[in-house]
Amino acid sequence: MEAQTDLEARIEQHLRVLYPQHDTRTVSARCLKSIGLEGDESTPMPHRNLWNQKDIALITYADCVRRPDEAPLATLHGFLHKHYQGLVSLVHLLPFFPYSSDDGFSVMDYTEVNPSHGGWEDVERLAGDFKVMGDLVINHCSSRSRWFDNYKKRLDPGASYFFEAEPDANLTAVVRPRTSPLLKEVVDEQGSRYVWCTFSHDQVDLDFSNPDVLCEFLTIIKLYLDKGITWFRLDAVAFLWKVPGTTCINLPQTHEIIRLLRLLIEHRQPEAVIITETNIPNSENLSYLGNANEAHLIYNFSLPPLLINTLLTGDCTYLKSWLLTMPPSQAGTAYFNFIASHDGIGLRPAEGLLSEWEIQSLVGTMREFGGEVSYRTGLDGEQKPYEINISLWNAMAGTSKSGPDEFQFDRFVCAHAVMLALEGVPAFYFHSLIATENDHARVANTGHFRSINRHLWDAEELESRLHDESLHHAKVLIAIGKLIRLRQRQPAFHPNAIQYILHLGPSIFAFWRQSPERKQTIFAVFNISNQPQTIPLSELNLFATQVWRDLVGGKSYEDRMTPIKLAPYQFIWLSNYEGS
C-alpha cells in the first residue's frame, strides 16, 4: 500500500468521523478525484484574510433586471458594469439553475444554467469582472430532479441519495423553519417510503451519511471552480445531517462535513472562500467559524432585526448589548454583514437578544408598513414568527411610536452607513441599493410572502428611474455609492480592524475602529433617533494632539469644547487620517 500524503491523511481523519463503516482510504481517493485534486497539493497559508475594506458584496438574482430578447445574466452584467463597477467587488448570484420552486432553491440540475437566465458563458464573463459567489444548495434538491426520479425508480444515481425516516420515529425534538409536515410519503410497486423535507415537499433532503452524495457535490464544486466561481455559500447547511431523536440541526457531523469541504476546496483553489448560511440563534451561528477551519465567513443574521429595531425605536440598547458579546473575528475569518436579502428579516437570530415583547412590537410595526410575516412550528406545536417579509425601503418608513414620517430616506441611508462601518464584509441586496418598494402584486401572483422583496425590474424602466434624481431610487444609489467609495479608502474599515463599542446613551450608536497597523482611527457616531442630538466632543476621548475630521461631511474638530450636533439619523465618521 502506498504511503499517504499529508492531505490524504487529513481527509481520512474527517472521513473516519463521518463514515466509520466505510473504507475511508477508498472514499478519500474518490473525494480527491471528484474535486480534481491529484496527489498532495501545497498547503494553503492559514489565517489569511482573503478580503479587505474595498470588498463590497452584492446579493442578486440572475433575472432581477430584464430586457426583451436578452439573456437576463447578460442584462445583469451590463447593469452592474454601468452602475456598480468600482462599488461592488463580489456578486452573489442566487441559484441560477433549473428549478421547480422557491425562486431557485429547489434545484433540478446543479450542473446547468437555467436556460431562461443564460448559459455558463454568461457566468464566466461575469466572473471576469467580479468575484462570483455561487449557491451550493447542499441540504436538499427538487422533487422533480433526475436524482429524485431515480430514487422513486430505485435507480442510480439517486437510489440512496435521500434521507428516509419512519413515521413512528421519535421526531419530536426536530427543529423546523416551516409549518409543513416533515415527512413525505413515496409509493412505488415495492411499497412506501418516507423522505425528509425540512423546508417543503418539493425540497427533499439529501442523505450525507452516504459518501456517494458527498462525492457528487465535490464534482459539482469542481465544475463551479472551473467556471470561475470562487466563493461558495452553503445554503441551509445547519440542517445537513439528521439523526432521529435529536434536534437534527447543528449536529457534530455537519461541522465535520464543513471542515472537510473547507480542506478540499482551499487545496483545490487557495483563493476560494466558504460562507455558511445558518439562520439560527446567534451563539449557534458563531460556531460555524470553528477554529478558523470551517467557514471563512458567517452571515451575521442577528444584525438585520437588531439594527431595524434600533432605528424604529430610537434606542440602540439591544444592538449595543449584542455587539458587546460578539468576539472579534480572528484572522482568516470575518462576519458577512447584511441588513436585507432575498429572504425576509429572520427572527430566530433575535431570540435571546430581543424580548418577546420587542419582537411582537417589531412584527406589528412591519405589518403597519406593508410587510407580511412567515411562521414556523415550535417544539411545543405553537406557530411562532419566523421571518418578516418586507422591502428594506418600506421597513424604514417611520418609527414604532409615530408611524410613517418624513425621515424615510435619512433612516434608510443611516442603516447602510452603520453596516458599512461595522467589523465585517458588507453585503447589499440588489433591491436595497436602489430602494425597491414592496411588491404586493408579485405576492398575489406567486402566493409566497418572500416575493414582496423579489421584484423583477424592466431594465429600461429602472434606468429611467435611476436617471431621475428627483426619485428616491436615484437619491439612494448616489448617497450609498458615495459612502461605499469613502469606506473603500479607509484602512480602519478593514473587515478585521479592531472595533470597540462606545456608550453615549440610547439615542446615539457609536463605536471606534482602528486599522490593523494602527495608523488610522475612526469614530463612527450615529443619531439613530428622530430627534436632534448633541454630544460633548470630550466624551469621545479624542487624542488632543491630532486634528479630527468628519469623512462624511468634511467638518474638522480642532476645538475640543465644540459639541457634535446631529440632526435626526445624521452620522459622522470622525477620523485622524483620511485614506487615499
Q: What is the mean pLDDT of each run of 10 residues along the chain (580 residues)?
A: 82 97 96 87 84 98 96 98 95 98 96 98 98 98 98 96 96 90 94 96 98 98 98 98 97 98 96 95 94 96 97 98 95 97 93 94 97 85 89 98 97 98 98 97 95 97 96 97 97 97 97 91 97 90 79 86 92 84
Task: Provide the CB-side half-sphere exposure for 10 (13 A, CA).
Answer: 16
Across the chain, mean pLDDT equals: 94
In the chain, % of residues over pLDDT 70? 98
Note the pLDDT of residue 40. Answer: 55
d(CA 347, CA 342): 15
pLDDT at 189: 85
Q: Note the pLDDT of residue 580.
A: 55
Topology annotation, domain 498-575: Immunoglobulin-like (2.60.40)
pLDDT at 380: 73
Distance CA 410, CA 468 (A): 19
Task: Identify the CA nearest to 272 among candidates 236, 228, 235, 215.
Answer: 228
- CA angle 74-425-254, nearest 5°? 90
pLDDT for residue 38: 78
Residue type at position 144: R
Q: Rounded to an integer, what distance in angstroms lies between the CA atom of residue 580 and that of residue 491?
A: 9
**80 contacts: CB under 8 Å, gap ≥ 6:** 58, 88, 91, 126, 129, 130
Asked if 329 and 496 touch (Cβ cutoff 8 Å), the reply is: yes
Specify the pLDDT at position 142: 98
Terminal-to-terminal C-alpha distance of the chain: 58
The answer to whether 235 is a known catalytic residue is yes
Residue that is written with C-alpha cell 419566523 in the block: 386
One of 135, 235, 410, 439 is an active-site residue; which one?
235
Q: Any alpha helices (H) in 55-119, and if so which ranges? A: 72-83
Task: Please tell me the pTM assigned to this model.
Answer: 0.96
Q: Can you tell me the distance from the alpha carbon of 556 to that of 313, in angstroms, rounded to the nearest whole number?
A: 31
CA distances in angstroms from 416 to 411, 485, 554, listed in the order given: 9, 13, 19
**What pLDDT does residue 1 have?**
56
All cell numbers assigned to 52: 479587505
